[in-house]
Each structure stands twice: as C-alpha cells, then as structure tokens.
A and B are shown apart, each in its own frame.
Chain A
Amino acid sequence: MKHIYTLVSIALAATASVAHAHGVWIAPSSTVLSAPQFVSFDAATSSVPFMIDHRPLVIDALNIIAPDGSKVTPVNVMKGELRTVFDAKLEQQGTYRLELLRSGFRASWKDAENKPKRFMGTAEALAKEVPADAKDLQVSETDSRMENFVTVGKPTALKTTGKGLELVVATHPNDLVTGEPVELTFLVDGKPTEGVEVAIIRSQSRYRNNTEEKTYKTDKNGKLKVSLPEAGMYWLDADFKDNKVSNKVAKERTLAYVVTLEVLPQ
C-alpha cells in the first residue's frame, strides 16, 4: 500500500512539473481597445494553455504597468479552485504590460534513507534546507517572465529590461492580424540569442483533436518567423538554459518566457 502512495505521489509530482512548464497562462478579455475601460483576466496553470482544468495561478508578484510607467492595482481578485480572476482599470492611452516574474533555486537530492527530496526558494533558504550530506544533489537557478499586453488607442513602444529571457516582437504584440507573418527576437540578458526553444499553441484546443502545437528554434540572430494564419489567442512559451548563474550553488540557469498573443482577423 505504501508503495502505491509513493507511486501516486511521484506520478502527481511528474504531472505537476509538466503542467508547470506547459500550461501557465494569463488570458485577457481584450487586447485592443478604443476607449479606457476595465479588462478582466483569467490566470491558471493547466494541462493545455487556456483550459480551466487544474489550479489557479498565484499572482502576488504580478505587476500591471501603465504606459507612463506607473502601476495599476488589480481589483476584484478571486482565487478560485481552478483559476484566478482579476480586473484592471485601464485609463491611459497606450500599451499596458502585465508581468509576473518568478526566480529562485530549485534543488533535488536524496536524503540519508535514499528518499527523494525537493526544494524551491532563495539561495539563502536553500543553504539552510539542503543537508550537507545530501546525495545526488542537483541545483538549478530558474528565472521566468510571463507577460500580457493590452493597448488603449495607439500602441506604444515596449522596452526590455536586459535581464533574463525576453521577447521583442517586430510588429507590436497588440498589432497582430491573420496573414501577416510575425518576426520574433529572443534576448537573453539583452542579447539576441540562438537556440531558444519556442512553442506556440492556439486557444480552444478542446474543440480539435490535436493541440497543433508548433515548435521553433531561434537562428543565430536570435530570430524566428512565425505565421499565425488563424485568428485567436495564442500561448507562446520560450525556454533556454545556460550556466550564467547568479549564485555558484547552481550549475545551470533555466530561463522561461511566456506570453499571450491575440491575433485578430483582417
């Protein structure tokens, strides 16, 4: 019986980590607006992006940044069993950026009785949590950025921070329409980077037999070209690994970037 429990928990852990990597999303009710108004958002982790079928997303670290750089406080925040909901009042003209940054250190090891252990948190906490005699210790640094963009009126230029994995869309992310290919450039610490792995999934996957996930890799200029022939919400996930860690306790740095892009019909 005990074995079954162990198996179940391992299976759950595996599912959770897949869901984590593959279905973290924030979806706006609108991305293109012609007048100031409220916009509502759903945020969750799920089996497939935009499906409300697993867990709500914790949005404590969420920032909603107005075109002038000021911050908007989300209102009507509701953390449900399956998703988090919040509203934001967008009063300025220009592009609002939602960003949810998460970073830390992830460790896995075996204790003295050969039981697998895991930890996720700061480098300082990690030093306290992981015993000196930990076996098969693996530590990696994680750094992820999740974004949404919503524009009132004319889109405004977006700036990158030069930290972690970021995306520059040649066409403004709130200016995407069917039939116009989009050029994407991925930056790692501000530099266009080759070999970033990108996956794109269109919403409404329940109503087709295949998620129709498309995968890409950036070229030597950090670029890739994508055609999005169908209108809809798209979930884009980018991943990259390197060894530019901020603390030597980790050998590897795992970077992730997730954005929701809405493509409108012409």
Chain B
Amino acid sequence: MRNWVSALIPALVAGMFANQAGAGEISVKVTLPQINTSEYHRPYVAIWVEKPDQSVQKNLAVWYSQKKTDKGEQSDKWLKDLRQWWRKSGRDQSLPMDGITGATRAVGEHALTFVEGKEPLANLPAGQYNIAVESAREKGGREIVRVPFTWPVKKAETAKAAGQQELGDIIVDLKP
C-alpha cells in the first residue's frame, strides 16, 4: 500500500505539471500594411479559430469602428464587408462582443495572445484548425489569410502566412 502511494505521488505531481504545461498559448501577430492611397481608412479586421469545414470555432478579435458616422449612421453598417466572418459568425452575434470587439487599429504589427482556459480561447477541443484573419477597408479591398495549426500544441512552433494586399505577415506562435 505504502509503496503504491509513494509511487502515485510523483505521478500526481507530474500530472499537475503536465496540466500546467498543457495551458497552451496562441500568439497571433497581425501586420496591417502601409497602403499608399489618397484616402486611407483603417481596416475592419476579424480574427477567429476556424474548423476544417470553415465554420467558426471561436471568435478571437474583431476591430471595427463603433462610433456613429457624421451622417448618424451606425458604423456596424460596414461589418458585412468582413464577408466570411459576417456570414459564418458575425450576423449571429450580439454586438459589441465582450472581450472580443474593439476599435480599429493603425498600420503596423499587432500582437495578441490567447491562453487556454481563458476567454476568448477558453477550452478548445483537440483538432485541426486555422487561425483566420480577414480584413476589409473602406474604399479599399478585402482579404482573408489562414494559418493552419493543430491543437493541443505538442511543442513550441511558429506558423506563418502572408496576405497580398490588405494584410501583411500573419505569424502564429504556438506554445504547449
């Protein structure tokens, strides 16, 4: 009995650490490129975890203007231009979404970190996913970039994809 218990304790301790090590992390670096145009508006951007069938597993971030325009129109008028996101998730949400929606961002690199067990990532079932980043810009274009990853993360790694016009590098750092 005693032998059995003492053998069990290290296993339990190891289990605790294993659990901690299992609090995986996804860091997403999104680069909004400099675009030379006479009238630049910051893009609307949606970032989400996408299942292989392209349905939305979790929304991670949505950047859009929540101010009314000078005509008094609601700015969510343009959310439909984030076409994929709008069709697959946006239209089902009540906006703004707590901890997910925020103001539009400037040109440059934006780093976001999502931790297992914490919103908005919370508990992500094991499987194959994409980090999807969609951008739509007033008087500009629209683009979607996908970076595939496997969950849970077994060893630290970096995955990367790049947009052609509306998005720069999308770098996904995965930590077990």
26 A-B pairs within 8 Å (CB atoms) are namely A32-B80, A32-B86, A32-B87, A33-B77, A33-B80, A34-B76, A34-B77, A34-B78, A34-B79, A34-B80, A34-B90, A34-B91, A35-B74, A35-B76, A35-B77, A36-B74, A37-B77, A153-B91, A154-B92, A155-B91, A175-B87, A177-B87, A264-B87, A265-B83, A266-B83, A266-B84
- Between A33, A37, A153, A265, the greatest number of chain B beta carbons within 10 A of the residue's beta carbon is seen for A153
8 tightest Cβ-Cβ pairs between the two chains A and B: A34-B79, A34-B80, A35-B77, A35-B74, A154-B91, A35-B76, A153-B91, A32-B80
Are B86 and A34 in touch, CB under 8 angstroms?
yes
Binary interface profile of B, 83-110, with partner A (CB < 8 Å = 1, else 0)?
Answer: 1101100111000000000000000000
Q: What is the predominant secondary structure among interface residues of chain A facing chain B? A: loop
CA distance A40 to B80 in the complex (A): 18
The number of A-B residue pairs with CB atoms under 8 Å apart is 32
Q: Which A residues lie within 8 Å of B78 (CB)?
A: 34
| B interface with A by C-beta (< 8 Å) | 73-74, 76-80, 83-84, 86-87, 90-92
Q: Which B residues lie within 8 Å of A36 (CB)?
A: 74
CA distance A34 to B92 in the complex (A): 11
CA distance A148 to B80 in the complex (A): 19
Q: Which B residues lie within 8 Å of A155 (CB)?
A: 91
Q: Which B residues lie within 8 Å of A154 (CB)?
A: 91-92
The total of chain A residues at the interface (CB under 8 A) is 14
CA distance A155 to B130 in the complex (A): 26
CA distance A155 to B77 in the complex (A): 16
- Between B76, B78, B80, B84, the greatest number of chain A beta carbons within 10 A of the residue's beta carbon is seen for B80
CB of B55, distance to nearest CB on chain A (Å): 13
CA distance A154 to B78 in the complex (A): 15
CB of A144, distance to nearest CB on chain B (Å): 31
Q: Which B residues lie within 8 Å of A35 (CB)?
A: 73-74, 76-77, 79
CB of A145, distance to nearest CB on chain B (Å): 27
CA distance A266 to B86 in the complex (A): 11
User: Which residue in chain A gives the minimum CB-CB distance to B77?
Assistant: A35
Identify 14 new A-B residue pairs, CB closer than 8 A, beyond the known A34-B90, A37-B77, A153-B91. A32-B86, A32-B87, A33-B80, A34-B77, A34-B78, A34-B79, A35-B79, A36-B74, A37-B73, A154-B92, A155-B91, A264-B83, A264-B87, A266-B83
CB of A82, distance to nearest CB on chain B (Å): 30
Q: Which B residues lie within 8 Å of A264 (CB)?
A: 83, 87
Binary interface profile of A, 226-266, with partner B (CB < 8 Å = 1, else 0)?
Answer: 00000000000000000000000000000000000000111
